[in-house]
Chains A and B, each alone.
Chain A
Amino acid sequence: MGLSVADARPALETFLAQQTAAVRADISALAPLSGGTLHENWRLVVDFDGGSLAGRQTLVLRADRPVCLASSLSRGQELCVMQRVREAGVQVPEVLWAAGADGPLGRDFFVMRWLPGTAAPDEIIAHQARTGTGKRLASRLGAELGLIQRVRPESGDLPFLKPPARDRAQALVDDTRAYLDTLSTPRPAIEWGLRWLELNKPPATESVLTHGDFRTGNYLMDDEGLVAILDWELAAWGHPLEDLGWFCMRFWRLDAVHQTAGGLAQREDLVGGYVQTSGRRVTREDLHYWEVMANVRWAAISIQQAERHLRGSDKSLELCLTGRRTAEMELEFLQLIAAGAGGKDCHA
């Protein structure tokens, strides 16, 4: 499945020199960054001799791990999504080049500019609590979501994305049921959630670009605030409130459970920023529905994560432990359903 990044160093140097028309490019430092279970990220310090980036540059190389979810985008496609949302005004790193199996790594990767800041959820949540800036950050993230949604399928952009579903909520319910049908163990709690989602569906609405994994952990921030939104490999055409519900899921709040927007602030703070750039009205019922959806889907995905380990394709303790967390999402959506949209904790 291709070379390790360290082994590919000479080939990468040649690639970098070619892309910038430099005389040569020397990688003077190469260090792994925290990646995740699907990708590996490396920080590169490169000295370019001439060419379009002459001088010392700090870059990030993002490559597929040998095992990759079939539904996620290739690095070349992710690059296109990031360039498109950047044009729409979304704060994302500048992606420079991508290469595939025929490139220097023998597998998919792209190179983007390195940016300062942290994406570690515990650090971000602790920082916001200490400095009292969580409301501002949540509102800013909501505003970014509104900008992301300016990218629409009608524009003909991003033709590699799966065509939008006419009824996104029903499509997600159907997909999740189809997945549960492949399992040997029945999951009545998730079925309960799916039935509720089917019976309480909002009317179908226009499709917008969704990030697909918009949460604390997938953006960079520093002392000044938001630096960039990361990890676009699950981008898809979806419902406007899908990313908002996902962001508010209890799971991402860590111990800050009462900070309902990503452990940072209240749901209404996120929605406040979103309304400003989207011009869309968000009711408490709407957001409640999509938060239930997020928990039901993440419960099913957590089973899928454990299966990757159990099938032996991708042995990992982290994946095992994710499988033991399914009940957290199950309890959360059972409680959200029982409480209804007007229940405590629903402020938006």
Chain B
Amino acid sequence: MRDAPDVDELLAAARDSLLANVLPTVAAAQKREVLMIANALAIARRSLAAGDAPLVAELAALRQLYPPSADGEAQDLDLNAALVALNARLVADIRRGAFDAPGPARSAVEALLKESVVQKLRENRPKLVDAGV
């Protein structure tokens, strides 16, 4: 076992110390850099907390669009490889106009894209999601 504190607590303590003890002491020209470091630590913390859950959800949504049984696609790809493969297929379909016409397929892709973008924002800039943009 690792000793306490865990990764989340370490990142939180580092960020708190940076903002409370370092930020007030730096020259005006360096404040922006310190705030960027604090922001990077906050993003890292949220990404670690989310773990693979957003990627698993994205893969599930892609599998709804491209059911595995229909194309005999390999099932043993790891999570990232499976996401790259299915997103590459989605990209090719979007480019050739497969979702140009209004209908359920187009709506499904729109919903999938929006959800995966919102997932990223929950880690990178949750303020925008909370604001109900």
Residues of A within 8 A of B (CB): 177, 180, 184-189, 191-192, 194-195, 199, 317-318, 320-321, 324-328, 330-331, 334-335, 338
Interface size (B, Cβ < 8 Å)? 29
Binds A, one of B11-19, B66-74, B108-116: B108-116
B121 touches A331 (CB 8 A): yes
A327 touches B124 (CB 8 A): yes
For B98, give the chain A residue with the smallest CB separation. Answer: A195
* B45 contacts the other chain (CB 8 A): no
* B128 contacts the other chain (CB 8 A): yes
Within the complex, what minimum Cβ distance (angstroms) separates B42 from chain A? 11
B40 touches A317 (CB 8 A): yes
Contact partner, A189, options B88, B113, B133, Cβ 8 Å: B113
- Contacting residues, chain B, for A335 (C-beta < 8 A): 133
A185 touches B100 (CB 8 A): no
Other than the known A180-B91, A327-B120, what 14 A-B pairs have Cβ atoms closer than 8 Å?
Answer: A185-B87, A186-B90, A186-B91, A188-B87, A188-B90, A189-B116, A192-B113, A317-B33, A321-B43, A325-B124, A327-B121, A328-B124, A331-B121, A338-B110
Most buried by B among A188, A194, A326: A188
Cα–Cα, bound, A192→B108 (Å): 13
B113 touches A317 (CB 8 A): no
- Contacting residues, chain B, for A192 (C-beta < 8 A): 94, 109-110, 113
Cα–Cα, bound, A187→B118 (Å): 14
- Contacting residues, chain B, for A177 (C-beta < 8 A): 95
Within the complex, what minimum Cβ distance (angstroms) separates B81 from chain A? 11
Main secondary structure of the interface of B (DSSP, over half): helix
Main secondary structure of the interface of A (DSSP, over half): helix
- Contacting residues, chain B, for A180 (C-beta < 8 A): 91
Using an 8 Å CB-CB cutoff, how does the interface string of B91-127 with A read, 1 for contact, 0 for none?
1001101011000000001100110111011001100
Q: List 26 A-B contacts (CB under 8 A).
A: A185-B87, A186-B90, A186-B91, A187-B87, A188-B90, A188-B94, A188-B109, A189-B116, A189-B117, A191-B95, A192-B113, A194-B95, A195-B97, A195-B100, A317-B36, A317-B37, A321-B36, A324-B43, A324-B124, A324-B125, A328-B121, A328-B125, A331-B114, A331-B117, A334-B117, A338-B110
- Contacting residues, chain B, for A185 (C-beta < 8 A): 84, 87
Cα–Cα, bound, A177→B91 (Å): 11
Cα–Cα, bound, A295→B110 (Å): 17
- Contacting residues, chain A, for B114 (C-beta < 8 A): 331, 334
Within the complex, what minimum Cβ distance (angstroms) separates B79 from chain A? 14
- Contacting residues, chain B, for A195 (C-beta < 8 A): 94-95, 97, 99-100
For B123, give the chain A residue with the smallest CB separation. Answer: A324
- Contacting residues, chain A, for B100 (C-beta < 8 A): 195, 199
- Contacting residues, chain A, for B36 (C-beta < 8 A): 317-318, 321
Cα–Cα, bound, A288→B71 (Å): 39
For B62, give the chain A residue with the smallest CB separation. Answer: A188
Cα–Cα, bound, A327→B133 (Å): 13
For B110, give the chain A residue with the smallest CB separation. Answer: A338
* B39 contacts the other chain (CB 8 A): yes
Contact partner, B91, options A191, A199, A321, A326, Cβ 8 Å: A191
Given A195-B94, A195-B95, A335-B133, A188:B113 Cβ within 8 A: yes
Within the complex, what minimum Cβ distance (angstroms) separates A196 from chain B? 9
- Contacting residues, chain A, for B43 (C-beta < 8 A): 321, 324
